[in-house]
Structure 1
Amino acid sequence: MNAPMKLSVLSTRAANNDQQIRLGGKIRAGIKVLTKAAQNNPKAVSLYNDGVEKRHKFTDIEKRIKDATGIANPMFPRNTPFFNVAASDFGMPEIAALIVDTYGEVRTEHSPRKQLYRFPVVFHSDDLNAVYPNQFKRHGMEPHYESHYGEDGERYCRYLPPVSDQQAAEVRARRIKKVMRREKVVRGRCDPGSCHEFGQGQCKFRGRLLFYVPGIPTTGMLGMETSSEYAAEGIWSDLERIRDALGTIPRSNPNKPGAPIFWITKSLEPRTYFDEHGKKQSGFQWVPKLQADIDIGALLSSGKVLALPSAHTPVAWLSQPKGMPDAVLLPPADATPVQPEGQGAPDVNDQLDQLIEEMGLDQDTVMQYFDVKIAQSWENDPAHVETAIKMLEPLKRLGNECAAKLIGLSVRVSQIGIEPRDFNAYAFARYGKGYTAKIDVLSRIEAEIEALAKLPREAAIAQVRQIDTAAQAA
């Protein structure tokens, strides 16, 4: 008789830790470049060039520029045909250089430097949920909701409840030094089609493809994170098709011993999306893709095909509502050193950055404002960026201070769950025509909205609509 498997403290902790995998490093799909304002700052240019040359993480480069120059938002994302490999994303920084040296190429039409356009991968499991774990996540707001599959196979929304004042007082009274681990609470079923947070763009798809790269020494797996549902669906479908046909995700090439089977690359593909008016548009995007160098027909003819249980369909398949826009290609840009002088005509992103800076607005708030007013991923579509510029111009005529208040109010009421038309009717009913140009009135409305935010969502909405209804009756 086999002896029962022995459990240890570490195995139990690992099993209860949501199976989070510690990565040996990350390969990122995109890069960041300097805004027009930052390009005109020699210190920002110097820090950017130095960071890119040393393959620092773009978030780290951005922080150094903010600290040194005071520019609030010096960089913005750019879609590129190559991947970003930053030394600071790896436990051993030299691994980043080894990956680029081993698999990088120089394609002068995109960049004069060696860049990672494609690289081979080996997948560690036949379980697609282990190869490409994915979920919905809400960050930047409390609570941090996340999707999770229960034992019944259904997808649920859960969160970590905050420590109450009573719990904190008990910890202090009992002089507890090691606070007990809090358990996550199930909020209900995760249904993006009826989810307020998903509809407002607060909760988004997050996926992480896990793999090893041949010839790259590391104990931990490498990962590539993406918020692109389109890319996730493509890679998942390709792996599922191969696994279902062969009974496994191959780890060695039967026809070419020692040669890789799978490669990750990028492909420039046409994308269809809907603009803020519901009109169908099209554009192009560099999309991460899976390529396979394998003769499936020959393997199938060998008769060695096994049946494997199906994995959970990724959350992306079940999430996308009609009319949800996808990102389109931004003008080509590379991570090569930039010069503050001799620039061509600024593109629409630069024009928007300059307008935001002139108005003294907080760029994070502005980004959220246009997420609500235009569409998710609006910043990746030049037509949407032009729309954003046109929307800011009349706000600027109200005065920068009033514009900032109105933008902040729009974002806040959206977070609470109040419809824009209800908010506008509420403000007009209480303060009349012209309230948008009165800073003292906007400050009062701001305080009222914060008071409403403390109420349950349904109660806040009902109170706003009640005031509007009362005004109409009068």
Structure 2
Amino acid sequence: MAKANITVHGGTPQLPTLLGQGPARIPVGGKIRAGIKVLTNKAAEQPRVKALYDQGVAAGQSFDQIERAIRAAVPGLKTPLIPRNVPWFTVRAQDFSNPVLAQQIMEAYGEDRGEGRHLYRFPVVFPADQWQAVMPHELAAWSTHEKQFWSEYSADGRTRYCMRHAPVPVDATGRRTIRIFGGRKIVARDVNGGICEPEACREYQAGQCNLTGRFVFFIPGIRSVSAFELNTNSFYAMNAAIQKFETVGFLRGGRISGFLDRQNTTFFLSKKLMDVPHIDDGGRAVRVSQWIIDLEAPVDVTALLRDSEEDVHTTLVEAEFANRVLEATPTPLVDEEKVVAEVMVQEAEPLQGQPSLEQLLALARSYEIDEARYQSYADARWGRGWRLNPHGRRRAWDELERYRNDPEGYRDKVEHELGAAS
């Protein structure tokens, strides 16, 4: 499988180079498919074709590879395979640049629900905060070998253009093509003033141009610097995913990347059986049951709101601390501990129910633990930010609480950890 790249729109611009200036790209090294392909009735009647199909499936070949092998063996069979909607995803070794990854995904997340081991549901982590970057999509028309026309928005997002590759230029004699640096040029299509308007497009009306999109993600536990992708042509799947992206982004201050909360909760991709409406050839609205890709976000919304509130509080405290350090009268050494304590006590009132730094240190002293040694222990255990972060102070308080009936045991724990660290 050839590696692909996904452009992170809105990402940090790169410095100009000989190869151009553009946004960062996410390399894609594997493809999970939304369904399967099976033999048509005509193809299934031929034993040779059936054998090639069964061999390809058993060997983990992609359906494109199987289809090419069948066409090469039986040239008269133009369409040997047709898509079939199933409740699971397809993971084929040949769809990955490193075939071992397909096996790892199935071992980690595959299930047997009575129809063999399949991938029904799996966790995903998105690598960017713009949903347009992790779910790129377009209207596209394909010829036999390449993408012929495709949609692309203007820089301000207001106009959708129909794009195509520019003709390859020739020299003055008209007999020799000119070498093109950086690949074929992309230009707006001449028809309809270059505007993408499906209702006036002959390719779209003929069913040759369709909506296509893909999710781009990492899978926890699967070690790969390249992302994975899952293609979909479903408007309903993508539209529902956008709503969930925007909801989670609103609750997390615009972030959809990474784990969703402090418990390392992730998004999940699965399938849901839905009645999907569409217009038939007679202009009637009908419904058909289909397995549609479903993006889940099984997260405690109240926890997201609480974490967001704590993050704001911590940011304000850290900003005040930095401001005091910068504005302090130059001395050989700024007393960081004193500044932190002042900020926490005098200017950053702790959230309701959250312990202050002074309360924590007082409790540690009641266990006959030296204040400086306790802070050294806590710094090593939770990092220096624990004292500024209400969530970090809560964890420290909970640990102290657990040892109220055994202060001697806690003193031993602190001394043991400090001794191991040194």
Superposition TM-score, scaled by structure 1 size: 0.56
String of CA shifts for 1:227-262, please: whole Å, max 9, x gaps: 1111111112111121123221152253534xx421
1:50 aligns with 2:55: yes
String of CA shifts for 1:284-318, please: whole Å, max 9, x gaps: 100000111211123224553999xxxxxxxxxxx
Q: In the superposition, relative to structure 1, how do residues 299 and 170 fare at CA in structure 2: closer, same or farther (>3 Å)?
A: same
Q: Which runs of 5+ in 1 are unaligned?
A: 308-474
Q: In the superposition, relative to structure 1, how do residues 291 and 118 fare at CA in structure 2: closer, same or farther (>3 Å)?
A: same
For the 8 Å contact 1:143–1:160, the answer to whether it is kept is: no
Q: In the superposition, relative to structure 1, how do residues 168 and 294 fare at CA in structure 2: closer, same or farther (>3 Å)?
A: farther
For the 8 Å contact 1:246–1:306, the answer to whether it is kept is: no
Alpha-carbon deviation of 1:271? 1.7
Q: Show the 5 A alignment for 1:297-336.
A: 297-304=302-309
User: Residue 118 of structure 1 aligns with which residue?
Assistant: 121
User: Residue 152 of structure 1 aligns with which residue?
Assistant: 156
User: Residue 99 of structure 2 aligns with which residue?
Assistant: 93
Alpha-carbon deviation of 1:222? 0.5
Which is richer in strand?
Answer: 2
User: Residue 323 of structure 1 aligns with which residue?
Assistant: none
Q: In the superposition, relative to structure 1, how do residues 151 and 69 fare at CA in structure 2: closer, same or farther (>3 Å)?
A: closer
Q: Tell me which amino acid in the other structure corresponds to 1:252.
A: F
User: Residue 251 of structure 1 aligns with which residue?
Assistant: 258
Q: In the superposition, relative to structure 1, how do residues 233 and 163 fare at CA in structure 2: closer, same or farther (>3 Å)?
A: same
User: Residue 292 of structure 2 aligns with which residue?
Assistant: 287
Alignment RMSD (CA, Å): 2.8
User: Residue 84 of structure 1 aligns with which residue?
Assistant: 90
Return the match for 2:225 from 219, 239, 248: 219
Alpha-carbon deviation of 1:151? 1.8
User: Residue 37 of structure 2 aligns with which residue?
Assistant: 32
For the 8 Å contact 1:145–1:158, the answer to whether it is kept is: yes
For the 8 Å contact 1:137–1:144, the answer to whether it is kept is: yes
1:198 aligns with 2:204: yes
Return the match for 1:7 from 12, 15, 24: 15
Q: Tell me which amino acid in the other structure corresponds to 1:261.
A: T
Q: In the superposition, relative to structure 1, how do residues 181 and 286 fare at CA in structure 2: closer, same or farther (>3 Å)?
A: closer
User: Residue 356 of structure 2 aligns with which residue?
Assistant: none
Q: In the superposition, relative to structure 1, how do residues 304 and 79 fare at CA in structure 2: closer, same or farther (>3 Å)?
A: same
Q: Tell me which amino acid in the other structure corresponds to 2:40.
A: T
* Rounded Cα–Cα distance in structure 2 between residues aligned with 1:161 and 1:127: 30
Secondary structure (helix, strand or coil) at the match of 1:272 reads strand
| Higher RCO (C-alpha under 8 Å, 6+ residues apart) | 1
Q: In the superposition, relative to structure 1, how do residues 304 and 156 fare at CA in structure 2: closer, same or farther (>3 Å)?
A: farther
For the 8 Å contact 1:245–1:305, the answer to whether it is kept is: no
* Rounded Cα–Cα distance in structure 1 between residues aligned with 2:244 and 2:285: 27
User: Residue 275 of structure 1 aligns with which residue?
Assistant: 280
Secondary structure (helix, strand or coil) at the match of 1:169 reads coil
User: Residue 63 of structure 1 aligns with which residue?
Assistant: 68
Structure 1 ranges of 4+ moved more than 6 A: none
Q: In the superposition, relative to structure 1, how do residues 171 and 45 fare at CA in structure 2: closer, same or farther (>3 Å)?
A: closer
* Rounded Cα–Cα distance in structure 1 between residues aligned with 2:310 and 2:259: 16
Q: Give the stretch that moved more between structures: 48-57 or 123-132.
A: 48-57
**Greater gyration radius:** 2
Alpha-carbon deviation of 1:133? 0.9
Secondary structure (helix, strand or coil) at the match of 1:210 reads strand
Q: In the superposition, relative to structure 1, how do residues 262 and 178 fare at CA in structure 2: closer, same or farther (>3 Å)?
A: closer
Q: In the superposition, relative to structure 1, how do residues 297 and 191 fare at CA in structure 2: closer, same or farther (>3 Å)?
A: farther
Alpha-carbon deviation of 1:211? 0.3
Secondary structure (helix, strand or coil) at the match of 2:309 reads coil
Secondary structure (helix, strand or coil) at the match of 1:283 reads strand
Q: Tell me which amino acid in the other structure corresponds to 1:186.
A: A
Q: Tell me which amino acid in the other structure corresponds to 1:184.
A: I
* Rounded Cα–Cα distance in structure 2 between residues aligned with 1:41 and 1:76: 16
Alpha-carbon deviation of 1:27? 0.5
* Rounded Cα–Cα distance in structure 2 between residues aligned with 1:36 and 1:178: 46
Q: In the superposition, relative to structure 1, how do residues 14 and 57 fare at CA in structure 2: closer, same or farther (>3 Å)?
A: farther
Return the match for 1:132 from 132, 135, 156: 135
Q: Tell me which amino acid in the other structure corresponds to 2:285.
A: K
Q: Tell me which amino acid in the other structure corresponds to 1:234.
A: A
Secondary structure (helix, strand or coil) at the match of 1:55 reads coil
User: Residue 321 of structure 1 aligns with which residue?
Assistant: none
Return the match for 2:112 from 78, 93, 106: 106
For the 8 Å contact 1:28–1:85, the answer to whether it is kept is: yes
Alpha-carbon deviation of 1:206? 1.4
For the 8 Å contact 2:170–2:176, the answer to whether it is kept is: no
Q: Tell me which amino acid in the other structure corresponds to 1:262.
A: F
* Rounded Cα–Cα distance in structure 1 between residues aligned with 2:39 and 2:143: 24
Q: Tell me which amino acid in the other structure corresponds to 1:183.
A: K
